[in-house]
Chains A and B, each alone.
Chain A
Amino acid sequence: MLIDQLLSAFALYGLPVLFGALLIGAVGIPMPASIMLLAAGSFVAQGDLSLWWVLALASIAAILGDNLGYCIGRCGGRRLVLSVTKRIGGEARLLRAEEWARRWGWAGIFFSRWLVTPFGPWVNLASGLGLYSWPRFLFLVVTGEVLWVALYVVLGKIFSDRVLALSEFLGDLTWAVVGLVVAVWLGRKLLRYVSQRRVSPNGNAVHVT
């Protein structure tokens, strides 16, 4: 229903709606950002919107939203972050994002912009909390978001008559990649455990670093 209402508003009022949705979505409020970018590509193909305006405004909105998330983490501290994120997952998700940010560093920030996007807002908060270098964060966010926006808008333009089917395809592809990342991470954990067990087969408990 939210998707339907937002897409109707986007079709009616154009770029300000896209800008607002991407900005809010990057901060962490659930928004159908991907399908809106695909729809924007379709509107470009139909001659309703300018490609360059869409690319510029959508990228700026996403980058601003990411920096807002980073700022909340960096300036507000853990207590503020937890109060802000209480309704959208809170501490559990934040801990996972911190683990992700620690483990993957720059790659975590870059790939969560366009490949494993569900992690994006949480990585912003975790990067701010972990005092990750802001110039480096900004560089990764700009390159990742521009890539995400360009990829989705151009795909929406190419498949301009099949926005829903394309959105379902890309949505499931994103979750398949997220599942694969989690499976690889857990698989490595298991392998390390098994190799430790071979070293000390008699112990009830083993240490894995």
Chain B
Amino acid sequence: MKINGWRFGLVAALFLVAVLVTSLFTIRVVRHASRLRARVDEPVQAWMSVPYIARSHRVPPSLLFQAIGVQPGPPPDRRPIREIARAQGRPVEELISQLNEAIRHARQGSPIATPGMPLEQGPTP
């Protein structure tokens, strides 16, 4: 392969970019590792089920089910909250905000503000 001056410059520039990108990702990896160790709360997302959110935030699942108006199991309702929102005919953002509120209350040890709607039956076994 023939390499002249400008090609050398190009390869050197690409090398520096690769080193820079590697360094940036390495810094992010270290940050993520410390977050993993510190068990930083994960943001509630539409694909998550209530038992997963409860496990991730270390709060009882029954409190979260109650907050969004779903009858807690058995068997535990494993539906993603997107699906629960669809079944209830409500926007998923509304459920996410109720779940965040319930988590906050559960951690403060105060009673959960109920959304004021009847409990939906969980899935049949």
Q: Which residues of A contact B (CB under 8 A)?
A: 3-8, 10-12, 42, 46, 48, 159-166, 168-169, 172-173, 175-176, 179-180, 182-183, 186-187, 189-190, 193, 196, 204-209
Q: Is the CB of B47 within 8 A of A180?
A: no
Bits for B17-42, please: 1 = Cβ < 8 Å to A, else 0. Answer: 01101100110110011011001101
Bits for B72-103, please: 1 = Cβ < 8 Å to A, else 0. Answer: 00000011101100000000000000000000
Q: Is the CB of A179 within 8 A of B12?
A: no
Q: Is the CB of A8 within 8 A of B1?
A: no
Given contacts A46-B55, A183-B19, contact A172 B28 (CB under 8 A): yes
Given contacts A11-B49, A11-B79, contact A189 B11 (CB under 8 A): yes
10 other contacts beyond A4-B45, A5-B47, A176-B25, with CB at 8 A cut-off? A8-B47, A46-B51, A159-B36, A160-B55, A162-B36, A169-B36, A179-B22, A186-B14, A187-B15, A196-B3
**A117 to nearest B CB, angstroms?**
14
A-B contact pairs, 28 of them (CB 8 A): A4-B47, A4-B82, A11-B49, A11-B79, A42-B52, A46-B51, A159-B36, A161-B39, A161-B55, A162-B42, A169-B35, A169-B36, A173-B25, A173-B29, A175-B21, A176-B25, A179-B25, A182-B18, A183-B15, A187-B15, A190-B11, A190-B15, A193-B11, A196-B3, A204-B5, A206-B4, A207-B2, A207-B3
**A102 to nearest B CB, angstroms?**
13
Q: Smallest CB-CB separation from A35: which chain B residue?
A: B47
**B119 to nearest A CB, angstroms?**
21
Residues in A neighbouring B21, C-beta threshold 8 A: 175, 179
Residues in A neighbouring B12, C-beta threshold 8 A: 190
Residues in B neighbouring A164, C-beta threshold 8 A: 42-43, 45
Residues in A neighbouring B8, C-beta threshold 8 A: 190, 193
Q: With A and B bound together, what is the CA distance between A69 and B51 in angstroms? A: 38
Q: With A and B bound together, what is the CA distance between A183 and B43 in angstroms? A: 34
* Dominant secondary structure of chain A at its interface with chain B: helix
Q: Is the CB of B1 within 8 A of A208?
A: yes
Q: With A and B bound together, what is the CA distance between A173 and B27 in angstroms? A: 10
B121 at the interface (CB under 8 A from A): no
Q: Smallest CB-CB separation from B8: which chain A residue?
A: A193
Q: With A and B bound together, what is the CA distance between A52 and B19 in angstroms? A: 40
- Which of A11, A187, A207 has the most B CB atoms < 10 Å from its CB? A11
Q: Is the CB of B83 within 8 A of A186?
A: no
Residues in A neighbouring B32, C-beta threshold 8 A: 165, 168-169, 172
Q: Is the CB of A46 within 8 A of B42?
A: no
Q: Smallest CB-CB separation from B36: which chain A residue?
A: A165
